[in-house]
Amino acid sequence: MTTLQVKKINLQNSYHQTAWQKILASENLRVEHHLSYTAGIYDGEQLIATGSLQRNVIKEIAILPHYQGGEVFNLLLSHLMSELSNRGFYHYFVFTKPMYQQTFEYIGFQKVAATAEACLLEKGNQSIDEFVKCFSKKEKGVKQQIGCIVMHANPFTKGHLYLIETAAKACAQVVVFVVEADEGMFSYQERIALVKAGTAHLSNVEVYGGGAYMVNFATFPSYFIEEEEQVIHYQTVLDATIFKEKIAPAINCTVRYVGEEPFSHTTNLYNQALKEVLLPEVQVQVIPRSASLDGQIISASKVREMIEAGASEKLADFVPATTRTFIQEKYHV
Amino acid sequence: MMEIKQTAMAGTLESSDIQITLTPIAGATEIHLDSSVGKQFGEQIKQVITETLASYKVEHVRVDAVDRGALDCTIQARTQTVIQRGLDQVDQVNWEVL
């Protein structure tokens, strides 16, 4: 098969786009947008295989049945991996169907977690086993509760503080993970600094970054799912499974705390998935939202709205003094 | 001692090739090998990599190698390339060790 050629596919071109969509359809993959790079393998003029990158995630791998099983797959993956290293990514993921787990393990990927419907694998200079070594393992007492909270804290509000304080009262130790994905108004560095500053008075609370492994919605692809609701379900179940199998045992976590979510459908589904997956090994405590003095529900999205509108009057009701000072300095609000 | 400055990769997963990733670490050098012929040639492959690292005086690295039946000369060439890339000296080849 010396005629095989690997090329970048230009998806702006409708001729190439049609050929690409056809090959995805033959493997029952959903057409995804926002891909950073798409490669194709051609046998003569015919597109016979494709794979894409979205940041550090390999996705949309499709190979025509006749060419499956070895050479074409290796050629395609070699190309995508050298493309990843050209882009400076040396830690990358594949999100795939469970049936392909072994295929990827064979070329050096390691499983992060698998559910009935999906499998996440990683390769490169970081791994989840290395990641969990950074945490100090807590003493496992008979009645000792070790609580855990994962939060985005964009930015850190009195609502987050209330959640952590509630956990800190009930548990011997509380570990807070801050989501690292930089998608929002406040950067990861800013967010984790504010969580640390806002919880400095609580001696049994530790704050860590969540790495690539906790609530990384942006990087968990889900292209082989038809419906939005299903997409969310897949991702949340996988996220919960990673927590249950890898994170919770590393810190001896016995209870995961989450905030009640009256507004966001996605977070609601996430809380549901956590209960589905974590029980009975890890308890799930849903804490009702706290309200500001005049009865308004506190949320980080409202804080961001206030900053954008330059409305400073109620900010001090919504965020702790440490966050208030930071907002003042950064946004002059 | 030569210090590996950045993670680097060389080689492919195609038949008769080897893909090598080099990452600087704090501890002693580790070699992780996945090979289709690991049972027969695993030790020899590791030895070629170890010797090539030694000729460049490279220590404190993690080597991840995915072998697809590469010959020793290929293993050596891929290891040299990945070292040069890791040293960020792609255009100043160290001819003396070759």
Distance CA A261, CA B89 (A): 53
Cβ-Cβ contacts under 8 Å, A106 against chain B? 34
Split at pLDDT 50, 70, 90, the class of A70 is confident
B9-42 pLDDT, tens digit per residue, is 999 999 999 999 999 998 999 999 999 899 999 9
Does A77 reach chain B within 8 Å, measured CB to CB?
Answer: yes
pLDDT value of residue A223? 32
- Please tell me the predicted confidence (pLDDT) of residue A233: 81
Q: Is the CB of A230 inside 8 Å of chain B's CB atoms? A: no
CA distance A144 to chain B (A): 35
Lowest mean pLDDT among A18-27, A177-186, A247-256: A177-186
pLDDT band (50, 70, 90) for residue A320? very high
CB–CB of B12 and A108 under 8 A?
A: no
Contact B7 A74 (CB under 8 A): no
pLDDT at A9 over 90: yes
Angle at A288 between CA A201 and CA A263, to 5 degrees: 115
Residue A139 has pLDDT above 70, yes or no: no
Q: Shortest CA distance to A253 belongs to which of A286, A216, A278?
A: A278
Tell if the CB–CB gap between A74 and B23 is shorter than 8 Å. Answer: no
Measured between CA atoms, how close is A64 to chain B, in angstroms?
18
φ/ψ of A113, rounded to 5, equals -165, 155
A186-190, A196-200, A216-220, A224-228: which has the minimum mean pLDDT?
A224-228
Spatial CA neighbour of A51 closest among A71, A35, A28: A35
Distance CA A2, CA A187 (A): 48
Q: Write A189-195 long-range contacts (CB < 8 A, 24+).
A: A190/A155, A190/A326, A190/A330, A191/A152, A191/A153, A191/A154, A191/A155, A191/A156, A192/A153, A194/A153, A194/A155, A194/A156, A194/A322, A194/A323, A194/A326, A195/A151, A195/A153, A195/A156, A195/A160
The whole-number pLDDT of residue B5 equals 87
Q: Is A5 on the interface with B (CB under 8 A)?
A: no
Half-sphere exposure of A291 (CA within 13 A, CB side): 6
Put simply, the answer to whether B34 touches A125 (Cβ < 8 Å) is no
Where does the pLDDT of residue A267 fall: very low under 50, low under 70, confident under 90, or very high at 90 and above?
confident
How high is the pLDDT of residue B22?
Answer: 94
- Provide mean pLDDT across the span A244-263: 90
Domains of chain B, CATH where assigned: 8-97 (3.30.230)
ipTM above 0.85, yes or no: no
Cα(A55)–Cα(A53) distance, integer angstroms: 6
pLDDT score of A142 more than 70: no
Query: Would the CB atoms of B9 and A74 count as touching at under 8 Å?
Result: no
Does residue A125 carry a pLDDT above 90?
Answer: no
Q: What is the pLDDT of residue A165?
A: 96
Which pLDDT belongs to residue B43? 96
For residue range B33-90, what is the model confidence (pLDDT) as tens digits?
A: 999 899 999 999 999 999 999 999 999 999 999 999 999 999 999 999 999 999 987 7
Cα–Cα distances in Å, from A37 out to A7, A11, A322?
A: 11, 9, 41
DSSP, collapsed to helix, strand or coil, labels residue A63 as strand
Distance, in angstroms, between B34 CA and closest chain A CA?
6
pLDDT value, residue A220: 53
Give, for A105, the enclosing helix (H) or strand (E): helix A101-105
- CA-based nearest distance A85→chain B, Å: 7
Statement: residue A286 has pLDDT above 60: yes
Q: Which residues of A touch B17 (CB under 8 A)?
A: 78
pLDDT recorded at residue A225: 37
Give the Cα separation of A261 and A63 in Å (integer).
42
List chain B residues with CB under 8 Å of A124: 7, 21, 23, 64
With an 8 Å Cβ cutoff, are A82 and B12 in contact? yes
Q: What is the pLDDT of residue B56?
A: 93
Q: Poorest-confidence range of A49-58, A60-69, A228-237, B80-89?
A: A228-237
Q: Is A94 on the interface with B (CB under 8 A)?
A: no
Inspect the interface and report whether the beta carbons of B68 and A108 lie closer than 8 Å. no
Q: What whole-number percentage of chain A has pLDDT above 70?
A: 94
How far A108 CA lies from chain B's nearest CA (Å)? 6
* Bridge partners, residue B2, by sequence: B58
Residue B3 is predicted with a pLDDT of 86
Domains within chain A, CATH numbers bracketed: 4-126 (3.40.630.30), 135-331 (3.40.50.620)
Beta carbons within 8 Å of B14's beta carbon, 6+ residues apart: A71, A74, A75, A78, B68
